[in-house]
Structures are given as C-alpha cells and as structure tokens.
Amino acid sequence: MKRLTLLRHAKAGTDAPGIRDFDRGLNGKGHRAARLVGQSIRAHGLEFDRVIASPAVRVMETLEDVATGYGRALAPEWEKRIYLASAVTLLDVIQETPAGVESLLLAGHNPGLEDLVLMLVPDGTDGRDTVEQKYPTASVAELAFEGEWADLKSGTATLTRFTRPRDLDATLGPEFD
C-alpha cells in the first residue's frame, strides 16, 4: 500500500508592497503551526521516502519548521510545477514518482491540494466532507492506495487522516487570527 501525504504551507504574512506572492514568508502563527504539525507527524510515526515541494518561500519555511518539530531533516526536491498548481498538475507530478517509493510527502498550495484530495477520495467516505469544507493552512491529508504511483487516479485513494493545526492547538484556529 502506497501512502501519499499532502501538506499545505503554513499561514503566510500579508502581502507587502513590492513583494511577489512567490516570495511571501510565514507569519508567527504559521511558524508555530508548522512546528506543531511536525510534532504530530512524528507522533504518528510517519516517514517519507521522498519529499517534493513547491519552491515558494512560504513552503520552504513551512518545511523547515515542520522538520524542526519532526526532529529530522526532510530533504525536499523543489519542483516549480507545484507552485499554485491545479489538482491535475499535482497528480502528474505524483504519477512520476518511482515505483520503489512507498511514502511520498508533497508540500504545496491551495486550491490544488484540496481539489486533489476531493479528486482522489470518493464521495461519501470518512473525513472527505471536512476537507471539502476547508483545507486550512498547515493542514495535512494522509491518503493510502493500492498499486503504483503511475496508476493513481480519481476515486482510488482512502483518506486515512486529516489534521488541521486547530485540531492540535485551538489557538491556531481561524477565530484567533
């Protein structure tokens, strides 16, 4: 069984004059949420054979903080196609994963990540409705499926866990923005 973990970048700072979207970094809440998510990933015993990520600054900073909480380096491969990618593009990237990889972490952006979960996980399955309501920053969706990466397609995955920062610490919820 293959495992796909999808991590949305943590909360970024507001748009500042003259700063491109690509170059926006995390705010304080984002740094805190990413470290906590890293601790949660460690607590659930997740390990990754491969990490692929958007090279946007907010994703890079998220992965640094997740690694701090996780307690080990993640060594991401930076893939430009992930930056603000659609679900279809994300699936293309995932399907290129070598067969020997059992566990993949993909770190990127919305709405692509949310749309990808909704594409891969059939309607009416546990947890899917929570993802459909909102895929907040620094949230992690864990999916499992049978077969090879190249065979992954619509409706073939199971959502095994969906963790939002507010599930780990209520002060990371939207009412504390």
pLDDT at res. 177: 61
Q: How far apart are CA 127 and CA 123, in angstroms?
A: 10
Q: Where are the alpha helices (DSSP H) in 47-164?
A: 57-70, 87-95, 112-120, 128-133
Please write the tens of the pLDDT for every residue from 49-78.
999 999 999 999 999 999 999 999 999 999
Checking if the pLDDT of 118 tops 70, the result is: yes
pLDDT at res. 15: 67
Domain ranges of the chain: 2-176
pTM for the predicted model, two decimal places = 0.96
Checking if the pLDDT of 111 tops 80, the result is: yes
Q: Order of strands across the sheet with 2-8?
A: 77-78, 50-53, 103-108, 2-8, 140-145, 158-163
CATH topology of domain 2-176: Rossmann fold (3.40.50)
Q: Which are the contacts of 140, defined by CB distance < 8 A and separation ≥ 6?
A: 5, 6, 7, 8, 37, 40, 41, 161, 162, 163
Q: Which residue type sits at 103? A: S
